[in-house]
Chains A and B, each alone.
Chain A
Amino acid sequence: MDTILPILAGAIFATGIYMLLRQSLILTIIGIILISNSVNLALFSLGRISTENPPLIAAGSVMPEAPFANPLPQALILTAIVIGFGLLAFALALAYRSYKELGTVNQDELLEDPEDTSSAIVTHTENNENRDS
């Protein structure tokens, strides 16, 4: 497990980066999901995976039976998953709104500048001329 999981995390991360760079906004968000999962996996495997007793305290005792597994990575991952879940819900809603508003999920068209900035300077000088005259 100690070698498989990091390799898997790396592979998912790479796939996520590839998806992140695609044209469609939806694929970009899928890329973010994949990267998020791979990071969770990395967090899990870096917390040292071991096959020991579950860290549950039996009735009547104050400590789990040693040797017990490390519960912290799972707590961290759960937090990260919950946060990621919220952020993702927002990102998807935003993508949906953008699609409704702008009528496309192609990022080149989505992020097109509404006003052409290259002509801004020209208009500026024109304006100044108008003021002088």
Chain B
Amino acid sequence: MTEQAIEKQTESEKWEPKIIAFLCNWCSYAGADLAGVSRIQYPPNIRIVRVPCSGRINAYFIIKSLTDGWDGVVVSGCHPGDCHYISGNLVARRRFAILKELLEFFGIEPGRVNFMWASAAEGERFAVLIRKATEIVKKLGPNKKFEKKW
């Protein structure tokens, strides 16, 4: 292996993805808090943005995150049926089903954008999901799809 290649390899080993997470205030954000209260450890790659409800999350928030260089996106709301706002997460679910196909069409690898559900009582589950999401994005490598080429 050339010196350059070695350097490149160690650089990619050092690389840590940055992931943005949009969490609804009532379930997933509270679940993330519970993971904290219970001291359940997970990788420090995510940065959480609190929104009132997963229904608030505009598809453009997700696209904007990718174009702005975040390596991964996590979107999480209450479990279907548990929404604090009755049905906001169902609206979100329909929206994300369409968005998923659109992102695939753009060439975004599946797994880079992660849709999930976690309740206020699921601190452990939240940590597990974040661990998984981080692992997937790590495998995919840096998000370069929307890198400006000019």
A in complex with B: no
Residues of A bordering B, CB below 8 Å: none
Residues of B bordering A, CB below 8 Å: none
